[in-house]
Amino acid sequence: MKGQEDKVYHLKKALYGLKQAPRAWNARIDGYLHQNGFIKCPYEHAIYMKRNHRGEFLIICLYVDDLLYTGSSTEMLAEFKAAMFNEFEMTDNGLMSYFLGIEVKQQQEGIFISQKKYMKEILEKFKMNECNPVNTPVAIGMKLSREEDGHFVDSTLFKSLVGSLRYLTITRPDITYGVGLVSRYMETPNESHWLAAKRILRYIKGTLNLGLFYAYDENAQLVGYSDSDWGGDQDERKSTTGYVFYLGSTAFSWTSKKQGVVALSSCEAEYVAAASTVCEAIWLRNILKELDHPQEDSTVIFVDNKSAIQLAKNPVHHGRSKHIDTRFHFLTIELKHCHTTEQVADIFTKPLSGETFMRLRDMLGIKTF
């Protein structure tokens, strides 16, 4: 306003769309839940729990202004729903069937999750809905680097594609390695990087009906697999860590990530990968304990490198291991050897042949619905 250029508005209420709005809303809902007896999970701050005197519980998962809630008491569920409608303007979408781009099909035997609608949107957005499918997301033997010949492509478009693919890894662990690989070249992508990303879209085109099926299993135990390649990155000679965790027969936590150090041997690369896997296992065990599913026995992590297992059991700083940083010498979870053919985490560390890829994909619990 003319004559009052040195003044600013003081908002009494956060406006939707402003940068401060999500934080203001989170403080509001967090305060309300605490006032009503909910306890925030110390290991995952998006989860809140409440118990009554009978030991029944209510679990809430919060994502900005979207809520999922479940529990062991229909009475507690009804009370929570009524209280929330009384306090906030809300919409009840009923039994979860679609959440943040994830399609959910619930049935007596278990739950199937997928992103078929989202996959179709990606293919249409990048004009790949009529492309020819391939049977693997990464061509076997493919190596990418920053110094490859070829024309540079639009980095904004490339980042948009990679970002879309990264969100798809929520329900498609089989593309995690390929997406992680092309993610390394987002600043200055060239034609080879663009073609590698488009190959993932071609793989998606032929596997639109795939997703993860979680069968009901009251006594499911946490089990992990850890693997690594050695010096697979062409630019920095760093290795790739891959791990996956199961509760029951289907994967529910996984990663494919370039290691932060250069490993001097395959043993060291596998050991560093195992250390990352153990960090994840400890975090998952803590969350499961909070959710009334404690793991009474040691969590088993399968590694296909016997030298790395021996080093974990006896981390003496001899000639082969004295250079390994102390932060990796803390393995406290039981490591067991598995044959390379049974190492499902292999799918997160390197390109595989079609037959091997599909066998490991099935082992992840990815199914057609």
Instruction: Please tell me the CATH code under which domain 217-368 is placed.
Output: 3.30.420.10
- Express each pLDDT in 49-105 by its tens digit: 999 888 889 999 988 878 899 988 899 999 999 999 999 888 888 888 998 889 999
Helix (H, G, I), strand (E, B) or coil at 275: helix
Query: Which helix or strand (DSSP H or E) is residue 240 part of?
Result: strand 240-247
- Express each pLDDT in 256-296 by its tens digit: 999 998 988 888 899 899 989 999 999 999 999 988 888 88
Residue 72 pLDDT: 87
Q: How far is CA 165 from the centre of its chain?
A: 12
Nearest to 49 by CA among 16, 13, 75, 76: 76
Continuous H helices in 37-190: 74-87, 116-125, 155-168, 176-183
Half-sphere exposure (CA, 13 Å, Cβ side) for 9?
6
Residue 288 pLDDT: 92
Residue 327 pLDDT: 52
Q: Which residues pair with 255 in a beta bridge?
A: 243
In the chain, what are the helix, strand and coil shares in percent, each to the nearest 5? 35, 20, 45
pLDDT category, 117, cuts 50, 70, 90? Answer: very high
Ranked by mean pLDDT, the top range of 98-102, 236-240, 365-369 is: 236-240
Q: Is the pTM of this model over 0.95?
A: no
| Cα gap 321→340, rounded to integer Å | 23
Residue 60 pLDDT: 93
Angle (nearest 5°) at CA 178 between 172 and 181: 135
Q: Which two tokens stand for residue 203?
A: 């793989």
Average pLDDT for 341-347: 94
Mean model confidence pLDDT for the chain: 88
Residues 81-90: contacts with CB under 8 Å, at least 24 apart: 83/36, 87/32
| Cα gap 182→203, rounded to integer Å | 15
| Cα gap 301→351, rounded to integer Å | 23
Q: Which residue has the tokens 């007896």?
A: 37
Lowest-pLDDT range, 5-19, 190-204, 250-264, 297-311? 5-19
Residue 64 pLDDT: 80
Residues 86-89: contacts with CB under 8 Å, at least 24 apart: 87/32
| Sequence ranges of the domains in the chain | 21-94, 114-205, 217-368
Residue 171 pLDDT: 95
State the DSSP string of 302-347. Answer: EES-HHHHHHHH-----TTTTTS-GGG----S-EEE--GGG-GGGG
- Express each pLDDT in 301-341 by its tens digit: 999 988 888 887 765 545 455 555 545 445 557 889 999 99
